[in-house]
Amino acid sequence: MRWRRGLICALAVLFGLATVWLAVPIPSGSLWAAQATSGVVVRSIGTVQTIQGKAITLRTDSGTEVHALIQGSTRMLRIQPGQKNLSGATPLQLQDLQVGDRILIMGTAEAGQPLLASSLIAIKRTDLAREQQTEQMEWEKNGVGGLVQTVDPAAGTVTVKARVEGIPKTITIHTSPTTSLLRYAPGSVRFEDAKPGPFAEIKPGDQLRARGTFSADGTSLNAAQVVSGSFRNIAGAVVAVDTGANQITVMDRIAKGPVTVKITPDSQLRQLPQATAQKIALDLRGVPGAGQHTGGQASQPAGRPMVANNGAGSSPPSAPPKVQQRFSEILSSLPAITVSDLSKGDVVMIVATEGATSGSATAIKLISGASPILTTSPGGSQSSAMQSLWSGFGASGGEGGAGASGGGEQSASSPQ
């Protein structure tokens, strides 16, 4: 999240804040992230939503909208992602500011009135896109991801079971006090939604992605950055659809009970044609030559893919050849559907995060039409082939249809 650090560092220089604040995220719910109430100094950071004349609407990272007015005396500067001071900042004109740019704005505000901006520091969305592409390449080159096997808090190490060039390997991840540790936010696998989280939150069974420097033999990695999270698989028939609340209830074959699944704007919903589902089912049974799929393009290797937790605490053994890859390719080519397209009796597979209450979840990815697939494994995920398929499901495509650049709407495959 270099843009955040860059803006905070720039703020420290501009307003003389103590060095200790340079690496501290802006607290939500404070004067750093919300408007003041009585003409005091306000500092807000977030994404430009609208620009109308000299009026700007900013959405902060906590979801608050801040309305600001640019004045003739407003000092406006542009910095690059990762820039730690204002020595390289360049003047910015209001007409050069765009929706999607990341900005830090400072000024004063009376209760119920727009913020009168005295200073504005911006990182252009195009600069963010370029930076994110560079970082994605870094994750793909020097990153590894998999299911957490063991955690050693004393040593600060984690072992993950990963596939390297198709071969299962156990990789030891070494962390240090300088390692950036992040956790995915509930209901999201977006990197920009990830929050700092202590090492103690990493548990066996979590999905974890790390980047850093590999050892010569490739069995360990000294991590510069780690992002982790807990996900669950849901598989079964839809028993209720509530389009008004954007949620469905599924009789989950894995958990052996009903689960209420919330659908958000970031959830990916896809319809799997019956013929395609049958081909995948033949693949799972190991039928030679079955399930060949020529449509669609394979998704690009994810910089830190969201992969479904198989719930078993260990990576699956070998599965029929290319099942995971082919499933990922197929899913990336399927058209999107909505909650209103789902009906009682539809059989679905879902990758989700745990909900706030027992028996609830938030969908990350959902496919309907999965009945032929689940007949190969009535329990939903026990077989090695099904576990491999779940991994292909989780790793396929981007998230929420969001692009990989700018405006806080990044793909899951583009860490920043």
Name the more confident of 397 and 71: 71
Q: CATH number of the domain that 48 lies in?
A: 2.40.50.140
Write down the pLDDT at residue 277. 87
Position 178 in a domain = yes
Q: Per-residue pLDDT for 153 more than 80?
A: yes
- pLDDT band at 40; cut points 50, 70, 90: confident
Q: Is the pLDDT of residue 37 over 70?
A: no
For position 219, which CATH number holds? 2.40.50.320
- Let me know if residue 163 belongs to a domain: yes
Residue 190 belongs to some domain of the structure: yes
Q: Decide which of 335 and 192 is more confident.
A: 335
Please give the helix or strand (H or E) that residue 150 lies within, else none.
strand 143-152
Please, which pLDDT band fits residue 185 given cuts at 50, 70 and 90? confident
Q: What would the pLDDT profile of 396-410 be if each residue is shown by its tens digit?
A: 433 332 222 222 222
Question: Which of the residue ranges 76-80, 164-168, 324-328 has the most confident prediction, judged by mean pLDDT?
Answer: 76-80
Least confident of 167-171, 375-379, 384-388: 384-388
Question: Mean pLDDT, to the nearest integer, of 20-41?
Answer: 41
The pLDDT tens digits for 82-115 are 787 888 899 999 999 999 999 999 999 888 889 9
The secondary structure of 361-374 as a DSSP string is EEEEEEEE--HHHH
Arithmetic mean of pLDDT, 281-304: 47
Domain identity same for 284 and 362: yes
Q: Which domain holds residue 273?
A: 232-395
- Whole-prediction pTM value? 0.56
The total number of structural domains that make up the chain: 3
Lowest mean pLDDT among 61-65, 399-403, 410-414: 399-403
Q: So what's the pLDDT on residue 322?
A: 52
Identify the pLDDT of residue 202: 95
Residues whose CB is less than 8 angstroms from the CB of residue 387 and which lie 6 or more positions away in sequence, other chains included: 310, 312, 315, 316, 319, 381
Q: Do 213 and 240 share a domain, yes or no?
A: no
* Strand, coil or helix: 341: helix
Between residues 328 and 366, the one the model is more confident about: 366
Looking at the fold, whether 182 and 255 belong to one and the same domain comes out as: no
- Amino acid 112: pLDDT: 82
| pLDDT per position as a tens digit, 222-279 | 999 999 988 888 999 999 999 999 999 999 998 899 999 999 888 889 999 998 888 8
In 3D, which of 369, 365, 350, 340 has the Cα closest to residue 271? 369
Instruction: Out of 123, 155, 183, pick the residue that ends a domain.
Output: 123
Calpha distance 311→47 (Å, rounded): 37
In this structure, the answer to whether residues 246 and 330 fall within a common structural domain is yes
412 in a structural domain: no
- pLDDT confidence tier of residue 189, bands split at 50, 70 and 90: low
Query: Residue 346 falls within a domain, yes or no?
Result: yes
**248 lies in the same domain as 180:** no
* 257 and 140 fall within a common domain: no
| Residue 136 phi, psi (nearest 5) | -60, -40
Asked whether residue 61 falls in the same domain as residue 163, the answer is no
Is residue 263 in a domain?
Answer: yes
Domain identity same for 267 and 196? no
Domain co-membership, 224 together with 236: no
Average pLDDT (197-209) is: 91
Q: Give the model's pLDDT for residue 14.
A: 44
Q: Is residue 406 assigned to a domain? A: no
Taking Cα atoms as reference points, which of 36, 117, 24, 129 lies closest to residue 77?
Answer: 117
* Residue at 404 is within a domain: no
| Domain stops at, among 229, 255, 276 | 229
Per-residue pLDDT at 48: 95
Indicate if 254 and 374 belong to the same structural domain.
yes
Average pLDDT over residues 45-62: 91
Domain end point (choices 206, 229, 252): 229
SS3 call for 103 = strand
Torsion sign (Cα): 112, 116, 121, 127: positive
- Asked if residue 202 and residue 87 are part of one domain, the reply reads no
Give the model's pLDDT for residue 351.
Answer: 87
* pLDDT score at 328: 65
103 and 144 inside one domain: no
Return the residue matching tokens 């033999």: 217
56 vs 281, higher pLDDT? 56
